[in-house]
Amino acid sequence: MQMRRHRTSGSWFAIMAILVVLADAILWYRIFSDASSATASHGPGIYFLNVGSGDAELIDFGHGVRVLIDAGPAGTAAVHALDSISGPGDRSLALVIISCPEAGDFGGLAAIMDRYRIGAVAYGGRDASPGITAWPALLERLASQNIPLLTLGAGDRIRAGSAGEIDILSPDYRLAQGAAVLTDTGIVALARVRGLNALFAADIGTAIEHALVYRYRDALEAELLKAPRHGAKDSTGLALLEAASPRAVVIETGSGGLAGQPSDDVLSRIAMGTDAEVFRTDRDGTIAFFPVGERKFTAYSLP
């Protein structure tokens, strides 16, 4: 299907036209953020935020267009991390993607909503387990603030003009609704920012890793790989590592409840199956990757 290209323009507003392509329909969302005050200090790039026991990644396409994948656990860790890489007037997120409705992935969104304007929130269509009461509370708040809630699945694409795009690789509808393990329904996304590719593997298990490799093969290749399941022993298999062939693997882990992660087995597989450098948020803090040409980047630790 041919895609249209959208440009950011206007002296007062940066317009992000997000085009989500479904299997049988096209859904448009235009999300406006005040570009006159969007003065992010670091520029376009991909950030892995240090939020402790959880996940949070920021994709900055430039011109005030930013997409957050996950918000970390409850509390203000994600807010503080976002503040540290944002300009004084940059308080907007065009889209927040919740990869999986687990507390360590969406818990921090409530605090972010207190401080940042959010254009829309997306998830994979699978609700949290009944015991996670913060999930229905979040859905109620989104509705009360008229923030659109989108459902994303395999085959969908989010365009950010000529700056880049995000392809959703998993889950499809059957997996989202039928998987026995909630984390296997996590949104797996391949993002491209000005020539830099990053594969975000959520918290999927090895069975889903193998399914992705079988389905996409070389299309999984990316310079950056977000290791699934915080580097747990039963994740980040050789098949995924060889298909992605990353130059950097990022493991998001912290001291609060992720003891023993990353696993030595995972670190050994990364060393055996790739030439990638390993970055860890528990050791390196927030990690920023900036594109410097096609499939090239520079990396910085932002404690």
Instruction: Answer whether residue 161 is part of any domain.
Output: yes
pLDDT interval class at 42 (50, 70, 90): low
Nearest to 44 by CA among 126, 176, 189, 160: 160
Any idea which of 189-198, 205-214, 289-298 has the lowest mean pLDDT?
A: 289-298
Residue 18 has pLDDT above 60, yes or no: no
Q: Quote the pLDDT of residue 258.
A: 54
Instruction: Answer whether residue 292 is part of any domain.
Output: no
Q: Quote the pLDDT of residue 24.
A: 34
Instruction: Answer whether residue 296 is part of any domain.
Output: no
Residue 212 has pLDDT above 80, yes or no: yes
Residue 53 has pLDDT above 70, yes or no: yes
Instruction: Answer whether residue 99 is part of any domain.
Output: yes
Instruction: Answer whether residue 299 is part of any domain.
Output: no
Instruction: Answer whether residue 188 is part of any domain.
Output: yes
Instruction: Answer whether residue 302 is part of any domain.
Output: no
Report the DSSP beta bridge partners of residue 57.
48, 69
Split into its structural domains, the chain has a count of 1
Would the CA dihedral through 192, 251, 73, 35 be positive or negative? negative
Q: Quote the pLDDT of residue 295.
A: 81
pLDDT (tens digit per residue) in 219-264: 999 999 999 988 788 889 899 999 999 999 999 987 544 556 788 9
Q: Could you tell me the CATH number of the domain that includes residue 132?
A: 3.60.15.10
Within its chain, how far is the Cα of 182 from the centroid? 17
Which residue range(s) make up the domain with 145?
15-284
Residue 297 has pLDDT above 50, yes or no: yes
